[in-house]
Amino acid sequence: MRVDQITMREIRLALKEPFRISSGEFRERRILLLELVSSDGARAWSECVAGETPNYSPETIDTAWTMIEQHVAPRALSRAFDHPGEAHAFFERDFRGHQMAKAAVEMGLWGLAATEADEPLGRFIGGTRAGIEVGISLGIQPSPEALVAKALAALAEGYRKIKIKIEPGRDVEWVRAVREAAGPSAHLMADANNAYTLDDAEHLAKFDALDLLMIEQPLAWDDLVRHAKLQKRLKTAICLDESITSLERAQDMVALHSGRIVNIKPGRVGGFSSAIAIHDYCQEMAIPVWCGGMFESGVGRAYNVALASLPNFTLPGDVSPSARYWTADVVSPEWVMDDGIVRVPLDQPGIGVAVDEAQIDSLTVRTATLRR
Ligand code: OSB
Ligand code: MG
């Protein structure tokens, strides 16, 4: 496979409602999309998940734009690949960090390879599921009552897991209110996005009474050692998100006992090869994984859905349907949820959805095209 051309575009998509996490608020997504063209004329779209501000990881859409334009895309255009699985190691060579920038191009290569192989992306990577159980991620609400209302509405819509964003002052009592309203069988979890320190261990142990599936990333974004100390003091399983940026960090998590579950976001770990390697390793170690989300457009969602069809993605993923986020998504068909399940598109090759190019043109604020 040879890539002849990579077109970068930034589009703007307004979220239906603002989304607040402990480290910041999102109202609109500035989304970086790529379109790769192979020397055989095959085309594939991919998405960079970096946000507007560096509140989740050090990357932003602007750092990713620069890195892709100056470093990642030129590398991808510089040689042929027998298989997209070769790209990750090639992008890592003497090139530190910038996982989201690397992942956008690397995943595009997987999308392109699946298209050229005439196989659905999920099957191409060895996925076995035809549908993905969906969890919703609820942003920090103005009051516990508002949170309870959102959680009950989501359960009524069929969501299989409710993730509640928390921060100091809006945590145990807020989640307890949801537990009391939703009943003992609801699958609930909390995500702190780094809002706590080890000094909060005693407070966080109060979550143990609420029978949560897990608590996601309570401590610093790049921490493993303190999470291990905290995990010793909690019955509730810690799930790591921000801290797992590579297979090696997942191995460290297991070695240190920093957590018992991994949220895999392919963008955060440098792409599909790394995400699949973490999946395989966790499966060997009996660590359940699930697919996280970064408010992807329908393009990035296609990759998450394909990835989540691998067998060890045993917990519901943050792969909500298009209508949860956008008035109109940029793909057709839009992603839909039926009885809490998003279907893995297995009836067509590649990423399984078509990009609405006229709509994308109307949303585009900048472009760049790189050629071999
Ligand atoms: O921590 O999982 C997170 C969105 C932006 C940044 C970080 C996170 C999230 C989400 C969104 O929780 C989940 C989704 O895309 O539905
Ligand atoms: Mg998270």
CA angle 211, 216, 219 (to 5 degrees): 120
For each of the domains in the chain, give its residue range(s) and CATH number, in order of start.
3-118+357-371 (3.30.390.10), 123-343 (3.20.20.120)
Nearest CA to ligand 1 atom 15: 293
Which tokens belong to 328?
A: 């109109």
DSSP one-letter string for 192-242? -TT---GGGHHHHGGGGGG--S-EE--S-TT-SHHHHHHHHH-SSPEEEST
Ligand nearest to the CA of 135: 1
What positions carry a catalytic annotation?
Answer: 165, 265
Q: How far is the CA of 215 from the centre of ligand 2 (A)?
A: 9
* Ligand 2 (single-atom ion) residues, CB below 5 Å: 191, 216, 241
Q: Which atom of ligand 1 is nearest to the CA of 191?
A: 1
Ligand nearest to the CA of 319: 1
Per-residue pLDDT of the chain (372 residues; tens, 9 = 90+): 999 999 999 999 999 999 999 998 988 999 999 999 999 999 999 999 999 999 999 999 999 999 999 999 999 999 999 999 999 999 999 999 999 999 999 999 999 999 999 999 999 999 999 999 999 999 999 999 999 999 999 999 999 999 999 999 999 999 999 999 999 999 999 999 999 999 999 999 999 999 999 999 999 999 999 999 999 999 999 999 999 999 999 999 999 999 999 999 999 999 999 999 999 999 999 999 999 999 999 999 999 999 999 999 999 999 999 999 999 999 999 999 999 999 999 999 999 999 999 999 999 999 999 999
Q: How far is the CA of 162 from the centre of ligand 2 (A)?
A: 13
Q: How far is the CA of 315 from the centre of ligand 2 (A)?
A: 14
- Non-local (6+) Cβ contacts of 296 within 8 A are 31, 47, 49, 303, 304
Tell me the pTM.
0.98
Nearest CA to ligand 1 atom 5: 294
Nearest CA to ligand 1 atom 13: 293
* Residues 188, 200: Cα–Cα separation, whole Å: 21
Q: How far is the CA of 22 from the centre of ligand 1 (A)?
A: 11
